[in-house]
Amino acid sequence: MDNPLIVRLRRQCHLDIADIDRIEQLCDDVRDVARGMNLVREGERIDRVHLVLSGWAARYKLLPNGSRQITALLLPGDLCDLRCTMLARMDDGIVALTPVRVAYILPDAIARLERMRPPIAHALSWYGLVEQATMRAWIVNMGRRHALERVAHLFSELSTRLMGMSDPPGQPLHFPLTQEEIADALGLTAVHVNRVLNELRRRGLITSRRGGLTVLDLPMLKQMAGFNDNYLHPAMAESIAG
């Protein structure tokens, strides 16, 4: 079984056999979460790090008026709350958008691994920077793009993040998102997302089925969005190999 965290870390630093073994050991506590269930509830106190092994999840916040804003999409290989020990309680929730397999990891175990293997610590810090850059990209997306470009940008980002992770290379990428989830991620309405997807479908850029959609023409989507992928892996050449 390919642990997606290993795939991810390997982009940033060399991992020897022992490293791989150590990381596999981190993930000894694996759980399956059904779609729609919360991995973390808002306001909850948590003392574990989540690693998404398979499936999609979302970090979200609910507003008093009942609306929801998704602040991050969590794909296989993504870690949630790497530094959770520092926080009194989570200020948002995490929900499974598909059936999700997660590993519960003890913060201590990560700290030990980081101390033992500085290159891994380095790769994890790097991961944190990418996370931050992604949030900034989302702010720009919501603040300064119209619905069509906004959707195109999200799809471009997801495609890039998915590349070389879980998906078989070369195949068209599939996103298991409902239109409401897309809306909540982009600050739009499900109704309006529907119309936008309609337009993208009409132009032959995507196809969509109930509860998911497939990208047909990624280059065109990127162009529509003015997508620049350098925030997602700011030149891995720079990283110091271990």
Partner DNA sequence: CGTAGGTTTGAGTCGGGTCAAGAAATGTGG
Partner DNA sequence: CCACATTTCTTGACCCGACTCAAACCTACG
> Which residues are at the interface with DNA (CB under 7 A)?
146-148, 150, 178-180, 187-192, 194-195, 197-198, 208-212
Which entry of its own copies, DNA, none binds 140, CB below 5 to 8 A by partner kind? its own copies
Q: Which is nearer to DNA, 7 or 148 (CB)?
A: 148
| Residue 8 and residue 119 in contact, taking contact as beta carbons nearer than 8 Å | no
Crossing angle for the helix pair 107-116 and 17-26, nearest 10 degrees?
170
Contacts of 78 (CB under 8 A, 6+ apart): 51, 52, 57
Among positions 30, 37, 87, 111, the unique one binding its own copies when judged by CB under 8 A: 87
Which entry of its own copies, DNA, none binds 190, CB below 5 to 8 A by partner kind? DNA
Among positions 7, 121, 133, 162, the unique one binding its own copies when judged by CB under 8 A: 133
Under the criterion CB under 8 A, does residue 175 sit at the interface with its own copies? no
Residue carrying structure tokens 């380095």:
122
Strand order across the 29-33 sheet: 29-33, 100-105, 49-54, 79-80
Under the criterion CB under 8 A, does residue 223 sit at the interface with its own copies? no
Q: Which is nearer to DNA, 129 or 190 (CB)?
A: 190
- Cβ 37 to DNA shortest distance, Å: 13
Q: How do 93-96 and 212-215 pair as beta strands?
A: unpaired
- Cβ 211 to DNA shortest distance, Å: 5
Binding site for its own copies (CB under 8 A): 59, 61, 63-64, 67-69, 71-72, 83, 86-89, 91-92, 122, 125-126, 128-129, 131-133, 135-136, 138-140, 142-145, 184, 186-187, 226, 230-231, 234-235, 237-239
